[in-house]
Structures are given as structure tokens and as C-alpha cells.
């Protein structure tokens, strides 16, 4: 469960939940014996026999199964939940499969035909693959190969006992290793809760393996460097803490404060029960058997390191997900975001719009809002599975997307300040690359007439927001000999001096299809498999797009560029084309000068070096 999720739907009493352990002084069958405070005689009283549950973590069979910790070759101590704890779980009769990753067994469900299209479903915290019990049969019967793993530390997977083992980057790596071990390709990925934070990162790093992507109450978290608001907990058990229902009842409504409380509670509660958390964050009433099933993997606190520490993984997340976010902003294959109407955080309308407006592949798909809470798979699992089936059966997968480098689809803004130098008009190019991300609200607030006056420039030319097409920049892009960078504030946006541009031909204005000379020593790199967009002039010279712009069309997305030629008013003899690279492309300046043009929509292109 992650930050915005901590708003339970309704507060329920625990009267329908059984007490799983009866604590008493002495118990002999059905006879309770207590000490008499006044004398040494025993008071003997017949009491009803209280039987342990027939299934789950506190069943007699589970508790009777002793288990000693083991150690991997790398020194990771772990426990294995006894199989008896999983006997006869309600609605979960799937065969167990395991793959070994770094000496630890990772469990997964694998149902349906082995040659069927793969549906990979990732759960969050504190759930496990049991969460997908209502969806798996429907998808498998429709001919899909349905795979639902348990994160290491949860479900039937091995359980490292050290809470510090559970770090975000490690779980990302384990999930990637799982996909590679099973040699999964053309994956229909379904993610929720922490499964979305991990899964969206994986999808952004391995987009060529993802055929379709579905999010249900999820997000990809990022915090600016030094601005992560969360602190790592102590993990010292606090016996004064109440049960899960009491925690939610007293939790702050402030997202940041409330999630810090969840981090601390999960880490220090003496009896954190997964089933009770699921009960709080669903709109339906889970049965006692279902609650017991969610608790089944965790006979005692030693097995709970993962569900105790997953919230604390948030404290280690800063901007390592940025590349994945940028790549997903170019993901053109089918994408769908479904939400639980009663999840006011990860299922909010704002979250749904954030993702459906960011991912090009979201266009035209049926992004639904279900009458459900955070754990939407429990509330409307069957309906969700049928909706997912329709999505997969009615959408078409196109070419795979190559994972992006640090520049690919990176959002930035520039301000050009032209000055008269003799008979030439030379513009300083100030920009956000290497400094920040150019928030739209701050960009919209800029007064360019005032910027021009403040800087004594001929004018101030807004050049953003823009998004890079290339993957990398080699050799840097600072002015001059790579000396001390220069920075300047434009309103609330910090920019650095990137380069200079000779605008003499256009007399200080940014003219369309008129070459400008930019001082630059760097090399733009486009990966093999990347789609590129090119203009060819009347003389056969080829310019490759280096960035697309939202200056003229604020809704332009990278996936729209394939048909960009229909929107351009090209000069006579010019053509627009698009192709997928069969090999790496490097576009360099010549003698420190790059020839750059813009089209009608302010997208920028650089002349290929062989043409200069």
C-alpha cells in the first residue's frame, strides 16, 4: 500500500473476524486452569473448546509445521512459509511454480495454455497473488497464459528476515530477473499499488517486452533530490500500538503525514495483519476465510519483514524513476488506467488523467472508474477481468518501443536572448536541461517582454516546452571550452546557458525552415530501434528531428509525429518522412557548429553531418 492509498472506504467492526490465538495461563483440552490469587488451589472451570482456524497462518497444521531459517550463498537469511499454511485457501487452488533468483525462490501462479499471450499481474503490499484469484480463471479460460508472481518476502515466495533487504531498487531488479528467467515477451502487464511503482519502472526500462500496459490504482513515484518528505522508521516493535482498524481511524488526512504514519505503523506494529488491511481498503466485506488467506503467508512476525518494510521503501525513492517516466511518455502501444472510485489517491480522477494524458497509447481506450476501493481486484475482480479481456482483444500492438536513454522524451524549456554583435544577431540560449523540468505553471507565468527588458536583449524568444527525441548527448553542450556553467533565474525557473545561436539570417527571429547556426560540440545519439523523423530539403539535404515542441500544439505527443507531415506547410520540394533505425545513429556538429531548422510547429531538426 503506498502513499495516497490510506483512506479506508468505511470503518468496519472486527466482530466477524475470529480471534486466531487464545492466550491463557494453562489450557488442557477444554479445561481452563487459572491461578487463584487468594490460595494455592486451582479453580477448574469447564469452557467451550476454542478450535484454531482450519486454514491460514494460525491453523493447527500451519503452527505445527516447524521451520528453521536458511541462508543463501550471498548471506541472506530467509524463511519458507510451510505449505500447510496454504492448505485449502478459499478460491485459490492454483498449482505452485518457483524460479530461483539470487538464491531465493520466487513463487508464481502460471495458469492457462503455455503458448497463450502472456498476462503478467503484479500485486502490492500487503497482498500477494491471492489478490488475483477472481481474475485468473477468467483470463486463463479465454486462452491467455496468466502469470501472477509473489514478490520475494510475500505470499509463497521465500522471506528474507532482515527488513533492510527490502529496498526498491532490489525489488525492481528481482522483477526484471523474474521476467528474464521465464523468457517472457509480448507481455500484457497489469499492475496495482506497489506492483505499479515496481511494474511501471520495469515497463519503462523494458518497454520492448510490454505489448500492453494496464494500471489499476497506481502510480510511478518520484521525489526531487533532497525533497523526499519521508523518513526511515526504527522497526522497533511498539506494544502500545493498536490494531489495523484503530490505526486507520486515527490516521491523518494529510497525504504526507498519513503515509509517514503508515510507514511507522507497518514497521513497528506488534501484530500487523495483511488480511485486516485488505478488509479496510475494500468496499466489499471479505469473508473470514479470505482474511485468513491473506494472512496465510505470515505465521509470525519473523515472516513479515517484507510487508513491514515495503512502505519504508518510499524513503529511498528520488528521481531514479525519471527515465522510465520519460519512456512511458512515448509508449505508443495500448495503455489503460482503471480506477476504484473510492480510492481517493491512486484511483483519483487526477491520477487517471495524469496517466491517460502522459501515455500516447492511452488514446481511444476505455479507462473506467469502478465502484471499488483501493484493492479493486477484490471488489470487482470478475468485471475487471472481463474489461481487461475486451481491452486486449480489441486493441492492436504496433512496433515495440526501445528503452530510452537519459535524454529521450526529456521535457525542457529554453529562452533565446538575441543581441546585435556588429552585423550579426547572436542569441544566448538559456535552458533547463541539467537543471530542472520546466513546470508548466511556472513557464506560463513568464513575462517575455519583461525578460527582454531586464536583459537588454532585442527580444526574448520562448522555446518550450520541448521534448528530446534523441537518447544521449555526448561531449557536453556548454558554451565555450567547458568552463564554469552560468545560471540565471527566469521567473521561478532556473536555467543555465546552453549555447549560442546565430540568428543573423532571420534578423533575430525564429523563422521556419530557415537554418540557424548553433555553437555546439556535442553528438546526439539515437539508439538502434528508435523511430526518427526527418525533413529533406529541395537539395536533398536531410535534417533529423532533435526535439518536438508544444509551443504551437500544446497537446502534441511523440506518437503523433509519425503523421506529422500532414500538418506541415512544407516549402516547395521539401518532404517529411519517418523510419525506424536499424543501427545506432550519431549526429554531430561540424567544427563546433550545428545547422538547425524549425518546422511550422516549432519542432527542431539538425542537419545530418554527412550533408554539411
Cite the active site residues.
193, 343, 374
Q: Which cell is 346 given?
A: 491512486
- Going by C-alpha positions, the residue among 1, 307, 274, 322 that lies closest to residue 166 is 307
Element containing residue 60 per DSSP (H, E): helix 60-64
Query: How many angstroms separate the Cα of 571 from the Cα of each of 63, 350, 509, 517, 599?
Result: 79, 42, 18, 20, 10
- Going by C-alpha positions, the residue among 343, 353, 340, 350 that lies closest to residue 384 is 340
- Give CA–CA dist 457/249, Å, rounded: 59
Query: How many angstroms separate the Cα of 30 from the Cα of each of 33, 46, 65, 586?
Result: 10, 7, 23, 81
- Give CA–CA dist 50/225, Å, rounded: 54
Distance in angstroms between the alpha carbons of the first and the last residue of the chain: 55
- Give CA–CA dist 155/496, Å, rounded: 49
Query: How many angstroms separate the Cα of 386 from the Cα of each of 94, 135, 376, 389?
Result: 20, 8, 14, 5
Strands of the sheet containing 104-111, edge to edge, are 97-101, 104-111, 145-149, 118-122, 187-191, 210-216, 335-340, 369-370
At 5, is the secondary structure helix, strand, or coil?
helix
Q: What are phi and psi of 26, to 5 degrees?
A: -145, 140
At 74, is the secondary structure helix, strand, or coil?
coil
- Give CA–CA dist 396/207, Å, rounded: 16
- Going by C-alpha positions, the residue among 46, 44, 184, 25 that lies closest to residue 116 is 184
- Give CA–CA dist 555/448, Å, rounded: 22
At 200, is the secondary structure helix, strand, or coil?
helix
SS (H, E, C) 48-71: CCCCCCCCCCCCHHHHHCCCCCEE
Amino acid at each position: 500500500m503506498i502513499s495516497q492509498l490510506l483512506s479506508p472506504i468505511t470503518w468496519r467492526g472486527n466482530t466477524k473476524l475470529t480471534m486466531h490465538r487464545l492466550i491463557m495461563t494453562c489450557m488442557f483440552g477444554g479445561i481452563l486452569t487459572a491461578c487463584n490469587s487468594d490460595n494455592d488451589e486451582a479453580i477448574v472451570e469447564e469452557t467451550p473448546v476454542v478450535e484454531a482456524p482450519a486454514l491460514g497462518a494460525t491453523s493447527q497444521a500451519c503452527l505445527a509445521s516447524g521451520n528453521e531459517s536458511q541462508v543463501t550463498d550471498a548471506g541472506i537469511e530467509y524463511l519458507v512459509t510451510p505449505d500447510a499454511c496454504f492448505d485449502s485457501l478459499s478460491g485459490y487452488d492454483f498449482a505452485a511454480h518457483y524460479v530461483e533468483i539470487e538464491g531465493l525462490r520466487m513463487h508464481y501462479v502460471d495458469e492457462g495454455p503455455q503458448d497463450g499471450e502472456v498476462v503478467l499481474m503484479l500485486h502490492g503490499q500487503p497482498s500477494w497473488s491471492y489478490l488475483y484469484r477472481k481474475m485468473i480463471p477468467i483470463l486463463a479460460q479465454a486462452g491467455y497464459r496468466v502469470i501472477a508472481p509473489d514478490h520475494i518476502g510475500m505470499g509463497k515466495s521465500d522471506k528474507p528476515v532482515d527488513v533492510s533487504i527490502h529496498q526498491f531498487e532490489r525489488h525492481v531488479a528481482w522483477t526484471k530477473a523474474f521476467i528474464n528467467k521465464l523468457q517472457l515477451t509480448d507481455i500484457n502487464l497489469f499492475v496495482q499499488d506497489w506492483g505499479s511503482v515496481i511494474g511501471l519502472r520495469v515497463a519503462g526500462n523494458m518497454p520492448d517486452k510490454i505489448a500492453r500496459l494496464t494500471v489499476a490504482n497506481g502510480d510511478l513515484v518520484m521525489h526531487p533530490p533532497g525533497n523526499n518528505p519521508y523518513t526511515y522508521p526504527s522497526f522497533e516493535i511498539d506494544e502500545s500500538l493498536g490494531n489495523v482498524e484503530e490505526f486507520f481511524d486515527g490516521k491523518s488526512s494529510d497525504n504526507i503525514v498519513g503515509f509517514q504514519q503508515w510507514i511507522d505503523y507497518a514497521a513497528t506494529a506488534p501484530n500487523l495483519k495483511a488480511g485486516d488491511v485488505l478488509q479496510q481498503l475494500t468496499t466489499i466485506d471479505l469473508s473470514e476465510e479470505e482474511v485468513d488467506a491473506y494472512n496465510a503467508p505470515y505465521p509470525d512476525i519473523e515472516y513479515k519483514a517484507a510487508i513491514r518494510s515495503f512502505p519504508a521503501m518510499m524513503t529511498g525513492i528520488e528521481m531514479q524513476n525519471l527515465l522510465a517516466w520519460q519512456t512511458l511518455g512515448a509508449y505508443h502501444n495500448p495503455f489503460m488506467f482503471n480506477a476504484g472510485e473510492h480510492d481517493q489517491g491512486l484511483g483519483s480522477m487526477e491520477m487517471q488523467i495524469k496517466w491517460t494524458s502522459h501515455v500516447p497509447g492511452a488514446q481511444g481506450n476505455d479507462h473506467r472508474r469502478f465502484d471499488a476501493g483501493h484493492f479493486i481486484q477484490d471488489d470487482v475482480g470478475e468485471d475487471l477481468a472481463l474489461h481487461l479481456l475486451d481491452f486486449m482483444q480489441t486493441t492492436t500492438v504496433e512496433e515495440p518501443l526501445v528503452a530510452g536513454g537519459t535524454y529521450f522524451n526529456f521535457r525542457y524549456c529554453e529562452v533565446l536572448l538575441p543581441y546585435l554583435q556588429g552585423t550579426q544577431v547572436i542569441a544566448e540560449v538559456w535552458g533547463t536541461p541539467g537543471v530542472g523540468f520546466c513546470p508548466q505553471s511556472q513557464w506560463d507565468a513568464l513575462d517575455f517582454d519583461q525578460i527582454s527588458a531586464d536583459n537588454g536583449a532585442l527580444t526574448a524568444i520562448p522555446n518550450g516546452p520541448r521534448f528530446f527525441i534523441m537518447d544521449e548527448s555526448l561531449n557536453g553542450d556548454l558554451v565555450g571550452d567547458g568552463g564554469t556553467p552560468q545560471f540565471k533565474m527566469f521567473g521561478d525557473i532556473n536555467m543555465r546557458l546552453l549555447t549560442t545561436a546565430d540568428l543573423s539570417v532571420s534578423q533575430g527571429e525564429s523563422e521556419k525552415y530557415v537554418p540557424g547556426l548553433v555553437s555546439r560540440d556535442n553528438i546526439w545519439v539515437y539508439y538502434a530501434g528508435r523511430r526518427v523523423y526527418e525533413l529533406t530539403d529541395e537539395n536533398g539535404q536531410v535534417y533529423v528531428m532533435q526535439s518536438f515542441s508544444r509551443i504551437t500544439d500544446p497537446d502534441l505527443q511523440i506518437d503523433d509525429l509519425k503523421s506529422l507531415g500532414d500538418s506541415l506547410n512544407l516549402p516547395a520540394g521539401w518532404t517529411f518522412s519517418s523510419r525506424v533505425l536499424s543501427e545506432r545513429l550519431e549526429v554531430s556538429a561540424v567544427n563546433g557548429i550545428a545547422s538547425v531548422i524549425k518546422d511550422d510547429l516549432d519542432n527542431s531538426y539538425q542537419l545530418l553531418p554527412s550533408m554539411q
